[in-house]
Amino acid sequence: MSFRVFYSPIFRGHRPEGYHPENPTRLDYAIRGLSEKGLWNDELILEPEPVSPADVLLIHDEEYVERIRKLANTFEYLDPDTYVSSATWEVALTALGAARDAVKFAVKKKGLHLALVRPPGHHAGRSGRAFNASTLGFCIFNNTAFAAYALRELRGKVTVIDFDAHHGNGTQEIFWNDGDVIHIDLHERDIYPWSGYEHDVGGKGAEGSKVNIPMPHYSTDDDYILAWMEIVLPILEGMKPDVVVVSAGFDGFLGESLTTLRLTERFFRYAGAMLSGYSLAVILEGGYNVGLMKGLPAFIGGYLNGEAQEGPVEPGYEALSTIQRVVEVQREWWPL
């Protein structure tokens, strides 16, 4: 299977003044982790081309896009969480280009095609903040939604899996009424952006196309693996996609500071291995240090090797209850 990374040094140009968790050093952690596993060399890296401003209007409203363009000439905060800097406009357009390229390559040849981009995007809705979220959550343009849109144009139906620790509210809002975009989202319950609950199943006519799995605080590998076994895998089997868009966040890794999740290489390796039957367009979302250094290469390694760590799964009671509630809601549309 092929493996490619769509990356540009331009992604370092979006930078804060002073400390902010979403900063260029995130790329250093990711590249270091990939390098240590032999997954980073010139032969694997392709530099993406930026999309046009008109392309952005496929997923975002013109007023929002124009606001970003005008503000991104200097440094300014859009909200308490999210900033723009002098290079943000070019960076954001190039990140969308990387997402588009990952999809194009995934359609042409089976493999894992990684858009190693920043800033992340899955909290950005059509006009900015999505589903009444308090902020944009570090995001500018929705890279995953752009990838899903590109794949929808090629394949008609799309499957998106988001395992970032935070709910991908922007992606779900953009496709809320689109029953041809199946969006499965595993995330920590009751944290930013305070959305993505079991009964959030899609808009009228698109019910069942949005599958939310709000996992309890302090969830472990076993909890997430059971959710994957009981919900994600049966839906994938029902859809039988040849290409899957993955909104890949690693901020749930044990030692990351923005969530309470306690995931390790075991879950991410398992997730990669369970997706090895599909061609993937993987779009980087969260992860700020150890998650990128350890979780990202574990996910890629699991995919390329097709092997997950064997052993019993012993989930906690809260995780079992959550999974049961999701199954009860979603079995109306899926063979769970």
Q: What confidence score (pLDDT) does residue 308 get?
A: 77
CA distance 91 to 101: 15
pTM of the model: 0.97
Q: What confidence score (pLDDT) does residue 282 get?
A: 98
Q: What is the pLDDT of residues 211-263, one digit of tens each?
A: 999 999 999 999 999 999 999 999 999 999 999 999 999 999 999 999 999 99
CA distance 167 to 178: 18
Q: Which of 183, 80, 93 is nearest to 140 (CA)?
A: 93
Query: Which positions of the chain have pLDDT values less than 50?
Result: none
CA distance 59 to 142: 8
Q: What confidence score (pLDDT) does residue 312 get?
A: 85
Question: Would you call 139 helix, strand, or coil by DSSP?
Answer: coil
Q: Which CA distances in Å does 309 have to 58, 264, 271, 298?
A: 40, 12, 11, 11
CA distance 223 to 299: 17
Tokens of 39: 């997954």
Using left for φ > 0, alpha for ψ between -120 and 50, and beta otherwise, residue 24 falls in: alpha
Q: What confidence score (pLDDT) does residue 126 get?
A: 98
Q: What confidence score (pLDDT) does residue 250 get?
A: 98
For strand 111-115 and strand 279-284, is the pairing parallel, antiparallel, or unpaired? parallel
Fold of 2-330: Arginase; Chain A (3.40.800)
The one-letter code for the residue type at 81 is D
Q: What is the pLDDT of residues 29-71, one digit of tens each?
A: 999 999 999 999 999 999 999 999 999 999 999 999 999 999 9
Tokens of 221: 């590998």
Q: Are 115 and 92 in contact (CB under 8 A)?
A: no
Query: Catalytic annotation on 166?
Result: no
Active-site option among 60, 113, 123, 167: 123
